[in-house]
Structure 1
Amino acid sequence: MWWIKDFAFDMEVVSDASRKVAPVERSTKDAVGGMCKVPSCMNRAKSRGFCWSHGGGTKCKFETCEKIAISNGLCWAHGGGKRCAVKGCMRQAYERTANLCNNHYQERQHGAAASTGEGDSDSAAASNWQADDEETLPAPPSNQ
């Protein structure tokens, strides 16, 4: 069997007498994984015949949990995935936020008062946070 892009080719005997062979084209989508069992879904199946959207993929190892495992065989709720790099914080984190949860990432970016939403205008003024052009509110419409 040989491969070109999304197709696999088997060599079949066309005529027993001449022993000529011709490639027979078939889609690899049928050969590997198959399609989701949900009738209207056109996604490729992950496991148990379902795509990611319809419950395919590895299930969480935690007893009675039906969620999809993120890493180490566990879902987010049971400890799968990255956690915040701040000691004692168990919130989910991402590489795009420097392995910090959203709260700690915002705190590092904009200062403590801006991330928590607490405090009065004096504490907000004391932080080093300044609004970018994109963050300023649009001017109210003028009534002419």
Structure 2
Amino acid sequence: MTDNLIERAAGGLVFRKTQAGFQVLLIDDRYGHVSFPKGHLESGETWEEAAVREILEETGIKSRILSPLGDVEYPIERKGLTIRKQVRLFVLEAMDEQAEPVHQSDEVESAQYFAWEDALRLHAERGYANLNWVFDKAKAFWDGTRN
């Protein structure tokens, strides 16, 4: 792996409150996986700014950061080079609980809110294994804020 080739991205798990309970915003990415909206940091941008911007760009959902969740790093191959991808994830809250996602079709296949249990099941079936921890950590945060 080449240490000086690093790609940084930010995003996270967006919640919204409904009468039926909490819902989670998930995307179907262009690789056939269910995931969280996230994307590259632009020059001069903070991790937090990138997360909020990327979620808005990919899903049309305005959100605000409630808490950091953590980081994940993994190698990716691009043009014959191995790049270290660093991703910082946050737990966020949708600012308009009535707004429905409108996905950015050139980046993601779809964006949709799911009930918590449905989101867990979908991620278990088609998500990235290295991001399973996000649900547990986000739920612990959310449960802690309601007590």
TM-score (norm 2): 0.19
Return the index of the structure with the highest Cα Rg.
1
TM-score by length of 1: 0.19
The answer to which structure has the higher strand fraction is 2
